[in-house]
Structure 1
Amino acid sequence: MTSEPLAAPTRRTYSFLGPAGTFTEAALAQVPEARDQNWRPVRNVGEALADVIDGRSDAAMIAIENSVDGGVSTTQDALATVPGLRIVGEYLVPVEFVLVAKPGVRLEDVSVIAAHPVAYAQCLTWLTGTLPEHSHIPAASNVAAAVGVVEGTITADAAIAPPGILKLHDLELLADKIGDNAHAVTRFVLVSRTAPPPAPTGADKTSLIVELPEDHPGALLELLEQFATRGINLSLLASRPIGDELGRYRFVIDADGHIEDERMADALLGLRRFSPRVLYLGSYPRADRAIVRYPERYSDEVFVEARDWLRGLVSGEPGA
C-alpha cells in the first residue's frame, strides 16, 4: 500500500507598499507569520486594501501614523470607507533618510529632489539649510523616487530614500541622516479581512472611527466622556472630514485596551447609543507591548459585580 504524498502547505500572501526597500517592507519583516511567505509589492494604500478585500492577499501592511507628521490621512480615510477590514497588529519602524543620486553626481549639482511628500516634509529643515534653492518632485514612495532617478524616469537630480536602498541599487550617497528628527518613528498596521480579534494580552489597543451625531456645543466632549468615565486612555484622537458638507468630521481613535475588557466593551456600547456610526477597526497587541494600566475601580470585576447587582435589583433578590 502506497501513501499519498502530503500536499505542500498553502503560502500566504501579504501586500505592502513597494518596491523592495521601503519602510513598509521593513515593517512587514517584523511579522513572524509573514516570513517565507509571498510578499506582493503595490503602489498605494488603496491597492493594498483592495488586494485584501478581493482575496489576492491575506493581509496588507500600511502606514497609519508618524511621530512627526501625525496620522496618515490617506490610510485613515481608506479605513473609514472600505468595509470588511480589521487591524490585527501594529509595528513601529524608526525613520531615517539619506540623499542619493546616480554615481558621479555631487551634492552641489543637485537642484531637483524626488521624494515621497511625507519624507520631504521630514527633511525640509536640512534641505532648506543645505540646498535652499532646490525644488521637489513628489513620488509614490521613497524607493520609487530613488529608482526613478537611477532609471531616468523621474527628472530629478537626487532622491530622498531609506538607507537600505544602497544595498539594492548602484547609487551615490550624497548625505546621510538628513531627517529633521532623529527620533522619528512610523507606526504601521497589518490589516486583514474581518475576523475575530486576537486574544487579549493585557498590552492591547483598540482602534475605532466614530462620527458625531450632530454639530452642537459639547458634542466632542460627550464622545470623549464615553472613555473618560470608564478609565480608558486615548493614545490617538484625529479628525478627518466626512466629505458630505463643511464642518462634518469623523474621529479616528486609538484607545488603550481590548474589546473583551469589560470597560472597553461598556464604552463601545455607550458609543453605539451616542453615535450614528461607530466603525470598529480591531483590537490587537501594542507594538511596544506596554501593559495597559488603569485604576482598580475600572477593573473587569467591578463592571461584572455592578451588572450582577443590577440584575439582583430587577429580580428582587434579598439583599440586592
Structure 2
Amino acid sequence: MSTRPRYAFLGPAGTFTEAALRRMVSPEDAEYVPVVDVPAALGAVRAGEVDFAVVAIENTVEGGVTATLDTLAEGAPLVILAETVLPVEFELVAREGIAHGDITRVTAHSHAWAQVRRWAHVTIPQAVFVPASSNAAGARAIAAGEAVEGIDVDAALAPPGTAAGLGLHLIEEHVADNEHAATRFVKVGRPAAVPEPTGRDKTTLTVHLPTDRSGALLEMLEQFAARGVNLSRIESRPRWDRPGEYSFSIDALGHVAEQRMAEALMGLRRTCPLVVFLGSYPAAADEPTPVVPGTSDADFADARAWVEQLRNGDHA
C-alpha cells in the first residue's frame, strides 16, 4: 500500500493544473489523482479521499476563479497551504489536414477561452467555442475521435507540448492575448497547525459585511488599514443565502502569527457576522512583505506593555 500523499487535480494528465502540481511536488513523492473539476478536487479533500488538492484560484485575465473561491468558502473547513504562479500560453491542435480556415468549432476550458478571445476573433473568426472540462480533455477527445460534450469539434486550444504528446497536428503555438498571462494555483488541505511565518506570507479570507448599508465596506477595510495590512486581492461574490448581498474574498499580505494580522482578524471577528480563515502560507513572490512603521510585532508588544503600565497606575 502506497504511503505517498494523494493530490487531487483537474485532469486528465497534461493540464496546466498538473503542471502546477509538478512544481509543488514530484510524482515520485506523491500520488496524482485526476478529477473532473474544482469542486470534485476540493470535495475529495473534505471527504478524506485525498490528502491535498491543487486548484487554480486566480488568473491575470479573468481574476478570481469563482469555482475555487465559492467552494472554499462553503462547507467543511479547508485551508490554503502553498501557492505557485504558472505562465500560461496555448497551442492550437487538430487532426492532420486541418488548417485555420477549416475550423468551425474549437474547444478549450472556459478560462482558457477568456485568455485567447482577441486572438480567436482575428485568427479563426468563423469558429464557435465549445467548452471542455479541461484543456487537456478537449485535445484528448480530438485524438480519440470523440465529441466534446456531445459536439464534434475541429481543433482544441491546449497546453504547450500537447500536440507532440498526443500525436496531433500543431497548427499554431504561443497562442495568448497577453504574453504576460499567468495563473495562480494553490495547494489546499484540511486544517492543522499553521506553519511559522516566513516574512513573505499571504492570508486568505472570506468576509461577510455586517449590514448592507453605506460605509459597511469601508468599516471592514479599516480593520486592515489601521494595522498596516496591505491587501493584494479583494473580490466580491454573491451570497447564495441573501440575494442582492455580497461577501468578499480577500488576500492580505501577512501571517496570522504576526500581531498586525492577528489584530486585524480580531477586528473583523468583532464587527463582521462571518469571517472564514482560509490559511496563512508563503507567497509565490520571493519578496519580503513591507512592514509599515509602527506595526511590527515589537511595536504592538511595546504598546500593549504601555497600556498594562497605565492599568497598574504607572504613568511614567
**Normalising TM by the smaller chain, what interval?**
over 0.9
Of 75, 82, 94, the residue aligned with 1:89 is: 82
Of 73, 96, 99, the residue aligned with 1:106 is: 99
Cα distance, 1:53 vs structure 2: 1.2
- Quickly say closer, same or farther: Cα 1:92–1:35, change in 2 above 3 A: farther
**Structure 2 Cα separation of the partners of residues 16 and 234 of structure 1:** 28
Instruction: Specify the code of the residue in structure 2 equivalent to 1:38.
Output: E
Partners of 1:29 and 1:35 within 8 A in 2: no
Match of 2:225 in 1: 228
CA shift digits 1:51-106 (9 cap, x unpaired): 11111111000000001110001110001112221100011110011110012222
**Structure 1 Cα separation of the partners of residues 239 and 94 of structure 2:** 41
Of 48, 57, 67, the residue aligned with 2:50 is: 57
Of 279, 298, 304, the residue aligned with 1:307 is: 304
Partners of 2:61 and 2:114 within 8 A in 1: no
- 2:63 is aligned with 1:70: yes
Partners of 1:103 and 1:170 within 8 A in 2: no
Cα distance, 1:9 vs structure 2: 7.5
- Quickly say closer, same or farther: Cα 1:35–1:230, change in 2 above 3 A: farther
Of 191, 202, 213, the residue aligned with 1:216 is: 213
User: What are the equivalent positions in structure 2 for 1:145-294 lying under 5 Å apart?
Assistant: 145-154=138-147, 155-294=152-291
**Structure 2 Cα separation of the partners of residues 198 and 260 of structure 1:** 9
CA shift digits 1:161-205 (9 cap, x unpaired): 111312420110111122100000100010000112221000100
Cα distance, 1:257 vs structure 2: 0.5
**Structure 2 Cα separation of the partners of residues 306 and 247 of structure 1:** 41
User: What are the equivalent positions in structure 2 for 1:125-144 lying under 5 Å apart?
Assistant: 125-144=118-137
Cα distance, 1:319 vs structure 2: 3.2
* TM-score where L is the length of structure 1: 0.94
Cα distance, 1:24 vs structure 2: 0.5
Cα distance, 1:152 vs structure 2: 2.4
CA shift digits 1:135-178 (9 cap, x unpaired): 01110000001111222222100001111312420110111122
Unaligned runs of 5+ in 2: none
**Structure 1 Cα separation of the partners of residues 57 and 174 of structure 2:** 23
**Structure 1 Cα separation of the partners of residues 126 and 100 of structure 2:** 13
- 2:301 is aligned with 1:319: no
Partners of 2:90 and 2:159 within 8 A in 1: yes
Partners of 2:209 and 2:272 within 8 A in 1: yes
Cα distance, 1:243 vs structure 2: 1.7
Unaligned runs of 5+ in 1: 1-7
Alignment length (residue pairs): 312
Partners of 2:103 and 2:126 within 8 A in 1: no
Partners of 1:237 and 1:254 within 8 A in 2: yes
Match of 1:115 in 2: 108
Cα distance, 1:36 vs structure 2: 2.8
Match of 1:5 in 2: none
CA shift digits 1:115-139 (9 cap, x unpaired): 1111111111111111112101110
Identity %: 48
- Quickly say closer, same or farther: Cα 1:34–1:256, change in 2 above 3 A: farther
Question: Any idea what SS the aligned residue of 1:296 has?
Answer: coil
- Quickly say closer, same or farther: Cα 1:34–1:305, change in 2 above 3 A: farther
Match of 2:117 in 1: 124
Instruction: Specify the code of the residue in structure 2 equivalent to 1:149.
Output: I
**Structure 1 Cα separation of the partners of residues 228 and 28 of structure 2:** 38
